[in-house]
Amino acid sequence: MGKKMPYELLWAPWRSSYVAKNNNDKYCIFCNAVNNDEQTNYVIYRSKYSIAMLNRYPYNNGHVMVAPIRHVPSIELLNDEELLDLMKTITLVIKAIRLCYNPHGFNIGSNIGKAAGAGIEHHVHIHIVPRWIGDTNFMPTIAFSKVIPEDLNTTWNKLRKCIENSMT
């Protein structure tokens, strides 16, 4: 058996408020984003029944989460209007990401329930992760680190403009 590579410890004090809030079952990042400042919460789009916001800890630039405005833990609890609006919002976000970043593909999915890996299990949401051929490189493999080259505020501004352009 080969030598096990230890992970590098990264100091990220800005995550402490997120971890503290996430340990509180009454706090929900999606409900908070619906009721508060769009830029602070990285909301890129809001419709009658859905909200789209950047993931603060993205896998890639342009990693967006789309959630119903109504706080429900699973997709089958949504009514037809909410489901249609959710899918239209996902489609609009995909168009905007294509326009802004020209990815080669997407990973789109939802983790429903703690056993499925849901980090926020009480408010269902769909992840949209743009992917490029070769976007996995030596950093995660050798250095156990992921490089995100673009600041979230830059991504927020870009995607909001691209959403506006996608709607015309």
Residues with active-site annotation: 125
The rounded distance, in Å, linking the Cα atoms of 131 and 4 is 29
Contact 130, 106 (CB under 8 A): yes
Q: What is the β-pairing status of strands 43-46 and 50-54?
A: antiparallel
Give 43's strand partners: 53
DSSP secondary structure code for residue 159 in this structure = H
